[in-house]
Amino acid sequence: MKQIIFTTSLIFNVLCVGLLSYTLINRSSSNDVAPVQVVVEEPQQPINDKQFKIAIFTPSTHPSLEKVQEGFCNALVKKYGLNCLFDVYNANGNRTLMHAQAEEIVQNSYDLILTIGAMTTQMAKEVSLKKHKLTPIVFGLVARPEKLNLIESREKSGNHLTGLTADPDYHFQMSMLHFLKPDIKKILLVYDPTQSSGLEYDKNIVEEILTDLGITLTAVEVYKTNEVYSKISALVDTVDAVLIFKDNTVVSSIDSLIKLCNRAEIPLCTTDLDSVPKGAVIGFSVTSYDSGFETAQKAYEILVEGKLPSEIPITQAESFKTMINEKAMKLQKFTLEEHLQQLITSLEVIR
């Protein structure tokens, strides 16, 4: 696995590209069951006249999820030349609404369902089995799908699901953080243990790794986005850094966490790259847009090549990166030794 460190100038370029391509995607803000249709401009003549109806099922609104959606849509239309109608179902963090949307999606005659994240994937699978309507489901941004009982194995799902996993490499992430800032001795983890992606499991793994590195982990559970600020504000002055996972509840409140860490002058570290340009100091994760692009290949194999989801192996996302925000480094007092600073600002990777 290869890692790349981005400096601030590269972060700016990534943001510019994201803003340009985002105009192709209509952002969903609906609070009802009905979807919002996405229109992607077609740069070439579709390979055939058939229009594929695809439901995109996303749990909430934040940059990582939006970029998965964007990469997926652009790949099918621009790379593969398909004529697609995309309906986006966005539950905006409301689990009752999410279940109602799952029912709506399964009842409609879609050619394929893209689920983003573990919770939407679990709901779509559960409802489709209950309704005996096995529309192919391709999932993205799901870690350890076999542990969540979504599939039998990565080689053969055994059902109507396939997709791309994004298993985090916490050993690398925590070791990198310790290498860059060995004076960090206390870390505050903010997470929602009810997330279907199994974040309690992740918390235990990270705690074991940090213990071996001589770092104490304090975990704070939050269950709603509006709890983040109230629960964390009194604790940020007692730790050396704040850590968050790719957690829909917490990432949706990233602006509050950034303000708290700036005020306390402690680094905010994430496993969500899209929070770094917003103000987190460092992130380790898969590139969301690229993972959406990779996921589209599996959809193409189902829609055009006629493969069953069970015939398409579940694969690990390849586009993992390390990203650092130099402006946030100053605000959050993430000072590095001079030789490390020079390495980060001058590093260029050639493949």
Secondary structure of the chain as H, E, C letters: CCCCEECHHHHHHHHHHHHHHHCCCCCCCCCCCCCEEECCCCCCCCCCCCEEEEEEEECCCCHHHHHHHHHHHHHHHHHCCCEEEEEEEECCCCHHHHHHHHHHHHHCCCCEEEEECHHHHHHHHHHHHHHCCCCCEEEEEECCCCCCCCCCCCCCCCCCEEEEECCCCHHHHHHHHHHHCCCCCEEEEEECCCCCCCHHHHHHHHHHHHHHCCCEEEEEECCCCCHHHHHHCCCHHHCCEEEECCCHHHHCCHHHHHHHHHHHCCCEEECCHHHCCCCCCEEEEECHHHHHHHHHHHHHHHHCCCCCHHHCCCEECCCEEEEECHHHHHHCCCCCCHHHHHHHHHCCCCC
Query: How confident is the model at residue 344, as a pLDDT?
Result: 76
Go through the domains of the chain in sequence order and give each one's CATH number: 17-167+288-319 (3.40.50.2300), 170-285+321-346 (3.40.50.2300)
pTM of the model: 0.76
DSSP collapsed to 3 states, 99-128: HHHHHHHHHCCCCEEEEECHHHHHHHHHHH
Residues facing residue 283 across a β-bridge: 270, 323
Cβ contacts of 343 within 8 Å, gap of 6 or more: none
Q: Give the distance, in angstroms, between the CA of residue 254 and the centroid of all CA atoms in the same chain.
A: 14
pLDDT score for 27: 33
The one-letter amino acid at 69: Q
9 CB contacts (<8 Å, ≥6 apart)?
none
CB 56 within 8 Å of CB 69:
yes
Per-residue pLDDT of the chain (351 residues; tens, 9 = 90+): 333 333 333 333 333 333 323 223 333 434 566 676 565 655 555 556 789 999 999 998 877 889 999 999 999 999 999 999 999 999 888 889 999 999 999 999 899 999 998 899 999 999 999 999 999 999 998 988 998 899 999 999 999 999 999 888 899 999 999 999 999 999 999 999 887 566 888 999 999 999 999 999 999 999 988 899 999 999 999 999 999 998 878 888 899 999 999 999 999 999 888 899 999 999 988 888 999 999 999 999 999 999 999 999 999 988 788 899 999 999 999 988 888 888 777 776 665
pLDDT at site 161: 98
How high is the pLDDT of residue 36?
65
**285/291 Cα distance (integer angstroms):** 11
- Beta pairing, strands 83-90 & 36-38: antiparallel
